[in-house]
Amino acid sequence: MSEPLHRQLGLKDDEQERIVATLGREPNRAELAMYSVMWSEHCSYKSSKIHLKTLPTEGPAVLVGPGEDAGAVDIGDGDAVVFKMESHSHPSAIEPYQGAATGVGGIVRDIISMGARPVALLDPLMFGPLTEPRNRWLFEGVVAGIGGYGNCIGVPTVGGEIRFAEAHSSNPCVNVMCVGLAKADELVTSQSLTPHVGSFMVLYGAATGRDGIGGVSVLASATLEEGADESRPSVQIGDPFAEKLLIEASLELIREGLLEGLQDLGGAGICCALSESATRAGMGAEVDLDVVPLREADMEPFEILTSESQERMLAIVHPSKLAAVEALCARWGLHTAVIATLVEGGTLTIRHAGEVVAEVPARSLADDGPEYDRPMTAPARIEDGGDPALTPFEGDLNDALRTVLAAPGIASKRWVWRQYDRIVQGNTVAGPDSDAAVIRVPGTLKGVVASSDGKGRYGRLDPYLGAMHAVAESARNVAVTGAEPLAITNCLNFGNPERPEVMWQFAESIRGMRDACSGLATPVTGGNVSFYNESGGSAIDPTPVVGMLGLLRDYRLRVPSAFPQAGLAVYLLGETAAELGGSEFAEAVLGQVSGMPPALDLSKERALLDLLVAAVGDTLLASAHDCGDGGVAVALAECAIGTGHGFAVSIPTDLPPHVALFSESASRAVVSVSPIDEEAFRALAAAYRVPCARIGETGGPRAVIDAAIDIPVARLAEIWETTIPRLLGEAV
Amino acid sequence: MNDTPRVGVVTFPGSLDDRDALHAIAAMGGTGVALWHADHDLRGVDAVVLPGGFSYGDYLRCGAIAARAPLMAEIRSFAERGAPVLGICNGFQILCEAGLLPGALIRNASLRFVCEDVWLRVETSQTCVTAGLTPGETIEVPVKHGEGQWVATSEELERVEGDGLVVFRYAAEDGQLGDAFNPNGATNHIAGVRNAAGNVVGLMPHPEHAVDPDVGPTGGQPLFAALFEAALAGATA
Amino acid sequence: MTTYTFEVLVSLKPGLLDPQGKAVEGSLPAMGWTNVSGVRIGKHIKLAVEAADEATALAQVQDMATRILSNPVIEDFEVLEVAAT
Amino acid sequence: MTTYTFEVLVSLKPGLLDPQGKAVEGSLPAMGWTNVSGVRIGKHIKLAVEAADEATALAQVQDMATRILSNPVIEDFEVLEVAAT
Ligand SMILES: Nc1ncnc2c1ncn2[C@@H]1O[C@H](COP(=O)(O)OP(=O)(O)O)[C@@H](O)[C@H]1O
Ligand SMILES: [Mg+2]
């Protein structure tokens, strides 16, 4: 006996009952397919919604919060920045190149559908150790796919991050963030445009094939297991050339004032775009599937409705503007098809071959999906190794620094970003070799600043603190350039939410994100949830990835992270405590992931951020670099590696030397200050109540820290630069 | 009267650095004119730039489909009249595919896309973009391409070298040649070539991304300065 | 030992979008060819294998085709034997 | 009118180094295949042409192969007729 159809499609029995109640009858095949994709975890957020609602979403800069295709913030002078992050992890685990490529395509269309020109991409990625051939294949494929797509559409990839942990061997995570620019009064939202009854829904872009049919339920909402072969044919192939044409045509359609609405086609394809567009318009639609351009002639209605073929958009067009829309699209070589007409009421009536194949309330698909308050249980605390700060360490500290710098998570990611076009569009003031990317706003002096950060190891030890640190670190990365952090987007990477432990991790992470975003006044404008990152018996660490956006009033003020010259004073800002829990040192040197992550005091963090922004505004800093993974030792080493200027410092502390060097205490930064600015800088630090210790000076070819560290900078640079190429088996 | 040159920049479907080239032309004091691949009209420009990007996705071969665009017929006769034509990256690939420049560009030896600043050694001043430079001099300009390895059959290579058609080679800052400075494995480190007359030049690196010190190096400035001179000379001739 | 020469043809699985083929097909009418359809672009790989006998050589090429020359998730392949010398 | 199906094989001219082929060949020993040589990777293009007769169809494909499907500066091609329907 086979399972009932709804269960095969991933719908639970109570969900099926809910559909029957909504329709007042049994759903037919096409309808069942529509509900199954729209009510999947991926599209409906049924497990996460109840928690996401608790996040702070409002603030003076927020123009568009969660709920639209992407969030938007105001950066003054009528300019808006649109940004959002999304995962494409499950497809990437099967076909890394195409999975990552289509991930870029998807998030870029979210930005376009807001009426914004995509100006930057960031790619937070997580893999298993590169010592495994399969992980290398995934890593190389994902990087090539992101570059292959991003480079071809002319959007610079300017940042990201890469973390490594065993659980990602079977569950690589691919998140992509896109940033776009628009005029605030030209943003396309459900508020800004008013569709009319009788207006057309025009599908434009690529033809529809059998791509990712049921992909949302099969690929994104069920745990990957061995023999995931059945889901294989649904891998999608990206066509970046078609996407580039979509970008140009869409922005022109908006500029010419030809649209009453615009939406990208992503998960759940036409079905999702139709139901969401109609719901937002407060209307229904008469839909004709016979006019949808198909790549394969014999597609069934449910296939046409749920296909996830890439590079398509859906516009709402008043009949009087149709000819102009068609002409504009034709100029860019894009096909158009009027697939629906908006009607009063809220019903989607879908016809195929002259017959009604589905008749459902649009809202029931888009908005009225199930919502779960899933059970949660705090896992028994894993007291594996205790506090690593208490582990005696007798080793050589020079060796320890070399080991930590060679940890793949710390080592240079040049091998990766060298494959990305970071300069197209001509506005990249700072790219991946900076703590945060700086993109200038054309025609102005403003710089949009973006950073992405996730803290998997901290999350494993304490998901609440892990999420807080992700927010704080991304804010710090933005602030060290001199920019004021404004708002975040996120991508929440977790295991199976049907397991109470995972749900607890999720709720704790949301609580941490909520507290940190409130404390740092950086509201959440949107994001994406990626559950079911769990196969091969292991779930990933709870990893909320934060995409922070900031504003630099004058991009020319931007401060680099590395020491620009010799003869500068080096200051350590913030306080250092004995905090090695979840640190890079504890993992790489002691082989321990245990204890508690560092504490985080949001008022201290905020004071540091404010000081950095003020000091850069007063041009008091020559360089600024946040102290993050690997502690002050790694921060200082990175400052020196960037330009080759060494340093000699002495860190005043009562802590054992290895703890002082590698503690990952939060809310710290290493800055360099020219002697004439020192007095003013110290006064400013005092005014912001940020502890500020002058620890030494830049200069010379060596990195010297007290009696503990003395290594030529060139040697540090070699270790840092060659780790990843070596792991990939390249001659270096 | 006509002291700012009119420089056309062609947009093909999939061109990416067309806007960037227009900005660079404006920043250097020229007048940029947007040209459309499907037109048959060069709009009276004095020089033409074929910009970088991925015309037609670089599908089949980079530049292959764009080289057959309607506007290319106009550009061919424009070039035959001796007017200055500069192909950058994808534009270089298009000029090779169109037979206006020798050789061809294939996948980088590493098989990977590469984006980084490189040094170029100028090999000749007998072109529309190097007139102001001295052979042996080096300039810093970024590259960003996946298919920038210049190759030719041995007979063609001999002709190119023999006739002095190499315009730029990848090099160290001091002009020294070596594999370490060659980002794509190009034969004889060739980064750019010219036609016999020197009015058509193509190079893989991006001079239009090397005019504004706020966002990159400045090695592209002299190339545009020379291109403007050549354009004005042609306009008055 | 004998050297066996093979050709391996790798193509995208039938239902999948072939962006290259699509773009090429789309460009042909402008060049005057309006009667062309179904353009699909795949790979044509030539290689030589040294082996004791033909069956061993063929099995190895099949294995190589599955594991490195193609990605079975999105591609099909066909192995043709060309010559033995 | 009849539809003729062709395959066009495009390969780099013999003297030219093939970076893809070289990379594949270089990666094989690490996977235990030490007996492979001469790896060259070219294109395999399938297409269909509608024409009145076979000779016309073939002539057109030859023309297309010369003018767009290959770059004669660095590539050779071969046209195979597959079927007429
Ligand atoms: N996948 C990637 N793509 C692009 N840039 C990356 C990637 N991974 C890391 N980078 C860049 O390398 C730099 C250092 O990364 P990371 O060590 O994670 O920074 P931090 O610890 O300051 O957050 C950052 O500027 C980041 O943008
Ligand atoms: Mg770091």
Cβ(A563)–Cβ(A703) below 8 Å: no
With a cut of 60, say whether residue A219 has pLDDT above it: no
The answer to whether the complex's ipTM is over 0.85 is yes
Give the side-chain half-sphere CA count within 13 A for A701. Answer: 3
Q: What residue's CA is closest to ligand 1, atom 12? A: A432
Q: Is the pLDDT of residue A720 over 90?
A: yes
Residue-level pLDDT at A385: 74
Chain B positions touching A148 (Cβ under 8 A) are: 113, 146
Cα A578 → chain centroid: 31
Helices of type H across A618-705: 631-641, 657-662, 678-687
Contact between chains at A418 and B146 (C-beta distance less than 8 A): no
Phi, psi of B61 (to 5 degrees): -145, 145
- The architecture (CATH level 2) of D2-84 comes to 2-Layer Sandwich (3.30)
Return the ∠ at Cα C30 (arms to C27 and C31), rounded to 5°.
90
Q: What percent of chain A has pLDDT over 90?
A: 86
The verdict on a CB contact (< 8 Å) between A418 and B14 is no
Which residue of chain B has the CA closest to C32?
Answer: B68
| Residue C85's pLDDT band (cuts 50, 70, 90) | confident
Q: Is the CB of A638 under 6 A from ligand 1?
A: no
Q: pTM of the full predicted structure?
A: 0.95
Whether A228 has a pLDDT exceeding 60, the answer reads no
**Using CB atoms, which residue from D36, D41, D44 is nearest to C48?**
D36
D16 touches chain B (CB under 8 A): yes
Task: Tell me the pLDDT band of B17, cut-offs 50, 70 and 90.
Answer: very high
Rounded Cα gap, residues B91 and A84, in angstroms: 33
Write the CB contacts of B52 (distance below 8 Å, at least 6 apart in sequence): A424, B15, B16, B17, B20, B21, B88, B89, B90, B91, B144, B145, B206, B208
pLDDT for A214: 57
pLDDT at A154 over 90: yes
pLDDT band of A537, cuts 50, 70, 90: confident
Query: Measuring CA to CA, which residue among A236, A220, A242 is closest to residue A313?
Result: A242
Q: What is the mean pLDDT of chain B?
A: 96
Q: Which of A109, A62, A67, A68 is nearest to A81 (CA)?
A: A62
pLDDT at residue A215 greater than cutoff 50: no
pLDDT interval class at A8 (50, 70, 90): confident
Does B57 sit within 8 Å of C30, measured CB to CB?
no
The pLDDT, as a whole number, for residue A266 is 86
The model's pLDDT over D41-84, given as tens digits with 9 standing for 90+, comes to 999 999 999 999 999 999 999 999 999 999 999 999 999 988 88
Residues 652-681 of A with CB under 8 A from B: none
Distance from CA of C14 to the nearest CA of A (A): 10
CA A451 to centroid of ligand 1, rounded, Å: 8
Using one digit for the tens of pLDDT, what is the confidence trace for A254-307? 999 999 999 999 888 999 999 999 999 999 999 999 999 999 888 889 989 999
**What is the total residue count of chain A?**
732
Ligand 1 centroid to A160 CA: how many Å?
Answer: 5
Q: Would you call A322 helix, strand, or coil by DSSP?
A: helix
Q: For residue D67, list chain C residues with Cβ-Cβ distance below 8 A.
A: 31
**Is the pLDDT at A510 greater than 60, yes or no?**
yes
D73 vs B: CB within 8 A: yes
Would the CB atoms of C19 and A211 count as touching at under 8 Å?
A: no
Q: Mean pLDDT over residues A457-473, rounded? A: 96
Please tell me the distance between residue A410's alpha carbon and the centre of ligand 2 in angstroms.
Answer: 5
Q: Kindly tell me if the per-residue pLDDT of B237 is higher than 60.
A: no
Gap from CA of A628 to ligand 2 centroid (Å) = 6
| pLDDT confidence of residue A234 | 65
pLDDT tens digits along B117-155: 999 999 999 999 999 999 999 999 999 999 999 999 999
Q: Which two tokens stand for residue C15?
A: 């239902």
Yes or no: say if B30 and B71 are a contact pair by the CB < 8 Å rule.
no
**pLDDT, tens digit, for every residue of A24-73?**
999 998 899 899 999 988 889 999 999 999 999 999 999 999 988 899 99
Question: Which residues face B43 on adjacent strands?
Answer: none
* Set of chain D residues whose Cβ sits within 8 Å of the Cβ of B102: 73
Beta-carbon separation of C33 and D64 below 8 A = yes
Best of D74, D76, D77 to disrupt the B interface (most B CBs within 10 Å) is D74
Predicted confidence band of residue B2 (pLDDT cuts 50, 70, 90): low
